[in-house]
């Protein structure tokens, strides 16, 4: 299983774009990159998943360079409600998910 | 779609008793479910992988006789914490993987807060 490295914490302000980068140097050919969001005392919530290049949905974008050794989750115009822990996970399809420490994002007024 | 529920949401039990936590996939079938434990301010720790109709696979360091897992159907997995002790107090979260061949996603339940007194 590929290990991931993320910043422990980040601070931002309402309305700003937040980019969280995750390093996964040992990603395997069949691995996908998935990001989850977790609020206190709740289960993680799926945000976005990708394999290469760029993926966008209604809440975020995921940028993956050609070598796939890193990925960046982009949250446009964050609000206070985006304060949470964000986890980057790398997994090959049906493999189990191993959570790293995640990134604690604090959005300030 | 893709909703996973857990019951109960929180439970308090006395030391030495057993507690059962249910995990259900409400609108999809899940051949595989996962159980995690999370202590305050820490990340999720995978405890075991539960496959429908077969024995669960436990992660290293997780006592299979203490944390009994049953995956009797494609929509239900249960975790029983036997002879609970205060150190078992934690937030237990399950997740389910849809049965579809193209499904790489896991959907997580809301979690169960267990407090052992």
Distance CA B27, CA B11 (A): 25
pLDDT score for A62:
98
Long-range CB contacts (within 8 A, 24+) of B44-47:
B44/A44, B44/A87, B44/A99, B44/B93, B45/A99, B46/A96, B46/A97, B46/A98, B46/A99, B47/B79
- Inspect the interface and report whether the beta carbons of B46 and A98 lie closer than 8 Å: yes
- Which of helix, strand or coil describes residue B15? coil
The confidence band for A18, taking pLDDT boundaries of 50, 70 and 90, is very high
Gap between the Cα atoms of A86 and B109, Å rounded: 17
Give me the pLDDT at residue A4, please: 92
pLDDT at position B21 over 80: yes
The reported pLDDT for the residue numbered A98 is 82
C-alpha to C-alpha distances, B27 to A72, B67, B70, B76, B81, nearest whole angstrom: 31, 26, 20, 12, 27
- Facing residue for A101 by CB, picked from B6, B43, B46: B43
| pLDDT value, residue A97 | 83
pLDDT at A2 over 70: no
> Percentage of residues in chain A with pLDDT exceeding 70?
96
When the pLDDT of each residue in chain B is averaged and rounded to a whole number, the result is 92
pLDDT, tens only, B42-73: 999 999 998 888 889 999 999 999 999 998 88
Residue A93: predicted pLDDT: 63
Q: Which residue has the higher pLDDT, B105 or B59?
A: B59
pLDDT interval class at B76 (50, 70, 90): very high
**Which residues from A are below 8 Å from B when comparing CB atoms?**
32, 34, 36, 41-46, 49, 87, 91, 93-94, 96-102
State residue B114's pLDDT score. Answer: 98
pLDDT tens digits, residue range B27-47? Answer: 989 888 999 999 999 999 999
Q: Which residues of B46-85 are buried (b: 16+ CB within 10 A; e: fewer)?
A: bbbbbebeeebebeeebeeeebbbebeebbbbbbebeebe
In this structure, how many other beta carbons lie within 10 angstroms of the beta carbon of residue A35? 25
- Average pLDDT of chain A is 93
Q: Counting one residue from A and one from B, how many pairs have CB atoms under 8 Å apart?
A: 51
In the predicted model, what is the mean pLDDT of residues A80-105? 89
Confidence of residue A30 (pLDDT cuts 50, 70, 90): confident
Distance of CA A60 to the CA centre of its chain: 9
């Amino acid at each position: 299983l590929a290990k991931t490295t993320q910043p422990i914490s980040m601070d931002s302000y309402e309305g700003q774009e937040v980019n969280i980068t995750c390093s996964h140097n040992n990603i395997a050919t069949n691995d996908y990159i998935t990001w989850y969001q977790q609020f206190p005392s709740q289960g993680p919530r799926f945000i976005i998943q990708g394999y290469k290049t760029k993926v966008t949905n209604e809440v975020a974008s995921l940028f993956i360079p050609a070598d796939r050794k890193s990925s960046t989750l982009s949250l446009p115009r964050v609000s206070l409600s985006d304060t949470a822990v964000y986890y980057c996970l790398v997994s090959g399809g049906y493999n189990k998910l191993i959570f790293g420490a995640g990134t604690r994002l604090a959005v300030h007024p | 779609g893709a909703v996973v529920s857990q019951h109960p949401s929180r439970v308090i039990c006395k030391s030495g008793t057993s507690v059962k936590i249910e995990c259900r996939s409400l609108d999809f079938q899940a051949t595989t479910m996962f159980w995690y434990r999370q202590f305050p301010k820490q990340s999720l720790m995978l405890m075991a992988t539960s496959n429908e109709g077969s024995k669960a696979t436990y992660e290293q360091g997780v006592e299979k006789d203490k944390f009994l897992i049953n995956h009797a159907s494609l929509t239900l997995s249960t975790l029983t914490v036997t002879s609970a002790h205060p150190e078992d107090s934690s937030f237990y979260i399950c997740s389910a993987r849809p049965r579809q061949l193209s499904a790489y996603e896991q959907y997580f339940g809301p979690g169960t807060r267990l407090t052992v007194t």
